[in-house]
Amino acid sequence: MFTFSSSRDLTGVLMIVALAGCTRADDSALADRIPSTARVEHVEATLEGLSAVTRLQSIDDPRVALGKELFADARLSRDNTVSCRSCHVINRGGADGLVTAVGIEGQVGPINTPTVLNSGLNFAQFWDGRAATLEEQVPGPIHNPVEMGTDLTDVVAKLGADTKFARRFGAVYPTGVSGANVVDAIATYERALVALDSPFDRYLGGDTSAISAQAERGYRAFLALGCVSCHQGPNVGGNMYQRFGIMGDYFADRGHPTDADLGRFRVTGRERDKYVFKVPSLRNVANTPPYFHDGSAATLEDAVNVMIKYQLGRSVNDDERHDIVAFLKSLEGRVEDSLL
């Protein structure tokens, strides 16, 4: 029996020995042909792939304060019971903690609520990427019959009838309460919702004591196991689409298929987009259980297990899993109190 080892030094030395030991002419030619950047030891040595987050939007912009107010305004739903904040609880990781979302009249939605935190850093919005920008995303839940179940024109009528609110609105938008302005204010607030200054960001900035030795081991495992193949960039995800179930058939194993499982296929209608989802950001992930579009993983440990099995085709022991979870917890940033 042999076990997985993440010691890159040992692997690297063995690799060099192996290549040096080759005597056949085509083997040495092969060694010349392969660029060093393609060797796994180079990849591990450079530790590339993740970078720090920065603010996208000044929080002093008056649109942010107005957007925050709208975000919490239940008049954005048909029966005035559900606001954006009902599902996106900022100090609970920007999500709702439920398996799938709950809308007006207690209707249960088909999919897990993605976090609103750092959403401005994603290259597309929603699990299936059907909105390119936050401005395109905002009207989605408002019009969805099982979420807020109303219409922007009705929302504008309700808000416009509130003279005091309309005055405050007019101070920020001279053209007054309109669908476009409501959308702009909410999207601007959402862009401001970037959680900053996580221990991991401080670690990347040079403060090696910002994260524990265990989290640091987890970071190296995160790179070595290949999680970073998809969860990459400043948002640790959110810059590409990927199929769920590369190294195994996740959906067959889970059973009871749903429409939402089809993912991006429902947007593009292309066969190759079946079971393809936007790779979610892992920032602040510790606060947003349960996990995946179906909310099937109750804990981070469960989620890591599923990812390693179905996406990476690897195995890890308990220690390595705990390390990775410790690393993921170090990705929790802070949202300014004024935005809560």
Partner 1 sequence: MRRRLLLAAYGVALLGLASFLVVRASNTGQEAFDRATATLSSASWFESAMEAATLRLRSYLNDSFDDITALQVAERALLADLDALGPGYAPLAGALHEEARLIDDFKAQHAVFRNSFYAFQRLVGDLRASEALRNDARGRESVGQLERAVLSYAFLGTTEDRAIVERLITRLREDAGFAPIAATDDWGFVVAHVRRVLDGRPLIVALDEERAALDIKRKVGDQLAGAQAVYSATVARARYHLYALFALALMLVVVAIWEIAQVRHYVAVVEEHGRGLEARVAERTADLATANDRLRQDAVERERMQEDLLQARKLESVGQLAAGVAHEINTPIQFIGDNIRFLDVAFKDLSTCLTDIRAGVHRSTPLSGLEVDELLQRADTAFIADEAPRAIAQSLDGVDRVREIVLAMKAFAHPSDNVEPADLNTAIKNAITMTRSEWKFVATAVLELDEALPRVPCALGSINQVLVNMIVNAAHAIGDVVKKAGATDTPALGQITIRTRAVAGYAEIDIEDTGSGMSDAIQARIFDPFFTTKVVGRGTGQGLAIAHRIIVGRHSGNIRVRSAVGTGTCFTIRLPLVREETVAGAA
Cite the active site residues. 147
Nearer to partner 1, 16 or 157 (CB): 16
Compute the least distance from the CB of residue 171 to partner 1, in Å. Answer: 29
One residue of 9, 20, 51, 340 binding partner 1 per CB under 8 A: 51
314 binds partner 1 (CB under 8 A): yes
Q: What angle do CA 309, 264, 120 make, to 5 degrees?
A: 90
User: Which amino acid appears at position 147 of this protein?
Assistant: E
Residues 159-178 that bind partner 1 (CB under 8 A): none
Compute the least distance from the CB of residue 229 to partner 1, in Å. Answer: 4
One residue of 22, 180, 213, 298 binding partner 1 per CB under 8 A: 22
**CA 324 – CA 327 distance, rounded (Å):** 5
Nearer to partner 1, 133 or 144 (CB): 133
27 binds partner 1 (CB under 8 A): yes
Convert residues 235-264 into a mask of x (bound to partner 1 by CB under 8 A) and - (unbound): ----xxxxx--xx-----------------
Cα radius of gyration (the chain): 23
Nearer to partner 1, 11 or 107 (CB): 11
Show the tokens assigned to 45: 């040595």
User: Which amino acid appears at position 313 of this protein?
Assistant: G
One residue of 38, 174, 175, 256 binding partner 1 per CB under 8 A: 38
Strands 276-278 and 241-243 turn out to be antiparallel
37 binds partner 1 (CB under 8 A): yes
CA nearest neighbour of 152 among 176, 128, 180, 119: 180
23 binds partner 1 (CB under 8 A): no
Q: Check whether the bond before 62 is cis (ω within 30° of 0).
A: no
2 binds partner 1 (CB under 8 A): yes
33 binds partner 1 (CB under 8 A): yes
**CA 88 – CA 93 distance, rounded (Å):** 8
76-103 burial: b if 16+ Cβ within 10 Å, else e: bbbeeebbbbbbbbbeebbbbeebbbbb
Instruction: Answer yes or no: are the C-beta atoms of 228 and 50 closer than 8 Å.
Output: yes
Residue keyed to tokens 């029966």:
79
**CA 283 – CA 292 distance, rounded (Å):** 14
Compute the least distance from the CB of residue 230 to partner 1, in Å. Answer: 5
92 binds partner 1 (CB under 8 A): no
318 binds partner 1 (CB under 8 A): no
With contacts defined by CB under 8 A, name the span among 35-43, 163-171, 172-180, 189-197 that binds partner 1.
35-43
One residue of 92, 167, 272, 334 binding partner 1 per CB under 8 A: 272
